[in-house]
Amino acid sequence: MTEQFKKLSAACAEQEENLVLLHYGDLTGAERDTLQSHLNSCAACKDYLQDLGKLLPLTLKSDEPPETFWADYNRELRHKLDDAAEKPRWQQKLAASLQPRLVPLFATAAVVALALAFTLGQSLWTTNEPPREEAAMLEVLPVAENLEFFKALDVLDDLELLEFMGSQGSAA
Amino acid sequence: MNPGDEELVASARRGDRRAFEELVERYQQRAYHIAFNFARDREDAKDLSQEAFLKAFANLKNFDGRSSFYTWFYRILVNLCLDYKRRQKRAPADTFDETVENEMDPSHQPEKPRSPDQQVWARQISLRVGQALDDLPARQRTAFVLKNHQGLSIKEIAELMETAEGTVKVHLHRAVTALRQSLADFV
C-alpha cells in the first residue's frame, strides 16, 4: 500500500478541492484565475491535476446497448405501465362498488366484533375473584362450623345434666 | 413543435398515457446510463430505470412542479439506485463483466483481440474501480457519479441531493481523494 501512495503527488491541501473542481470545469472567474496562477508556480499541484486527468477517466464505464435492447426496454415498460394503470382502476372499481355499503358493512362488523368479544371474553378474561361454587362454600363453611360448635354445646349441656344427676344420686 | 416537459406532465396527469410515454422516450437513455453507473450491470440498470419511470407514473399526481420534471424524476432514480447499492452491499457479488473490461482499457480497440496481459490489467482496474466505488459512503458516491459520469453541474447535483453546493464540493473532493488512493497503482 505504501508503495502505491508513493506514486501520488501531494497537492497543497488548501488547493485540493479547487483542483478537483478545475478538473471538472466547475471553477470559474476569480477562483479559476487564482488557481491557474498558483499552478504556474506549484509543481505539486500541477502533478496532482495531471494525476486526476489520468485516473478519473478510468472510473468511467459506459454501456451502449444495441437497438434490440431498447425495443425490449420500451415493450417491457409499456406492459409494466399497463399493469400499474390497471391496478388503481381495479382498486377504484372495488372501492366504488363498496362505497354505498360501507357504512352498514362497518356497523355490522362492529356489532359482530362486540358480540364476539363479549361472548369469548367471558371465558377468556380471568379475574382474581374465586369461582361461584367456591364462594358459596366459603359462605356455608363458617355456618357449618358454628353448627358443630352448637352441637358440642348441646353435648356439654347433656354432660352438665348428667353431672347434676350424678351429684344428686350420690347425695341420696 | 415538440411539447415541453411541463405540457407533457400536465397531459399525463389528466390521464394521457401517450404523454407519459413521450417523457419516457425523452429520458430513458439518460436514466438507463445513470442507473448503469450505479449498478454496473445491464439488466439491473434496465430494471432500476424502469422502476423509476413506474414510480414517477404512480406519483405524478404528487409532482408539485416546484422543480423540473427532469430533476424530480432523477431524484427518484438516484434514490432507487442508492437503495439498490445498499441492498447489494448486504449481499455482495462479483459483478465483473466484459463491458467493464472494454471501458477500462484505454488501449482497447473492439476489432483487435487484446493480449492476455492487457486483459489481466483491464480486469484488475475494473475490479478495483468497482470496489473503490462501493467503498465510498453513499453521498460521496452519489456526488461523484453525478459529476464524473453524468457531468451534472455542482448546482444540479446539490438540487438533486437536496443539499448545499458547498457540501457537494466536499463530498466530491473526498470521493476523488479516496478513489485516487485506491487507483494509485494505475497512474
Q: Per-residue pLDDT for A171 more than 70?
A: no
Q: Poorest-confidence range of A19-23, A113-117, A153-157, B25-29?
A: A153-157
Residues above pLDDT 90, as percent of chain B:
45
Can you spell out the DSSP letters for A114-163? HHHHHHHHHHH---SSPPHHHHHHHHHHHHHHHHHHHHHHHHHHHHHHHH
Half-sphere exposure of B28 (CA within 13 A, CB side): 22
Q: Cα dihedral sign for B75, B80, B81, B83?
A: positive
Q: Tens digits of per-residue pLDDT, A18-73? A: 999 999 999 989 999 999 999 999 999 999 999 999 889 888 877 889 999 999 99
Cell for B79?
A: 434514490
CA distances, B147 to each of A25, A51, B158, B177 (Å)? 11, 18, 11, 14
Q: What is the pLDDT of residue B95?
A: 39
Residue A99 is predicted with a pLDDT of 67
Q: Does A55 touch chain B (CB under 8 A)?
A: yes
Which residues in chain A are closer than 8 Å to B45, comparing Cβ atoms?
Answer: 63
Q: Which residues of B touch A4 (CB under 8 A)?
A: 181, 184-185
pLDDT attached to residue A75: 93
**pLDDT per residue over B98-145, tens digit each?**
343 344 334 444 445 567 777 787 778 888 888 888 889 988 998 999
* Radius of gyration, alpha carbons of chain A: 51
User: How large a percentage of chain A has pLDDT more than 90?
Assistant: 33
Residue A12 sits at the chain B interface (C-beta within 8 Å):
no
Is the per-residue pLDDT at B93 higher than 50? no
DSSP letters of B23-81?
Answer: HHHHHHHHHHHHHHHHH-SHHHHHHHHHHHHHHHHHTGGG--SSS-HHHHHHHHHHHHH
- Rg over alpha carbons for chain B, rounded to the nearest Å, is 18
Q: Are B184 and A7 in contact (CB under 8 A)?
A: yes
Report the C-alpha gap between B83 and B90 in whole angstroms.
11
Give, to the nearest 10 degrees, the angle between helix A67-98 and helix B42-58. Answer: 30
CA–CA separation, B78 and B147 (whole Å): 13
Cβ of residue A26 closer than 8 Å to a chain B Cβ = yes
Q: What average pLDDT does chain B have?
A: 83
Q: Does the beta carbon of A151 lie under 8 angstroms from any beta carbon of chain B?
A: no
Q: How confident is the model at residue A120 (pLDDT cuts 50, 70, 90)?
A: confident
**Per-residue pLDDT at A118:** 79
Closest by Cβ to B176, choosing from A5, A20, A81: A20
Distance of CA A14 to the CA centre of its chain: 47
Interface pTM, i.e. ipTM? 0.71
Architecture of domain B1-93: Orthogonal Bundle (1.10)
CB under 8 A, 24+ apart: contacts of B41-44 = B41/B95, B41/B97, B42/A63, B42/A65, B42/A69, B42/B99, B44/B84
Residue B114: predicted pLDDT: 63
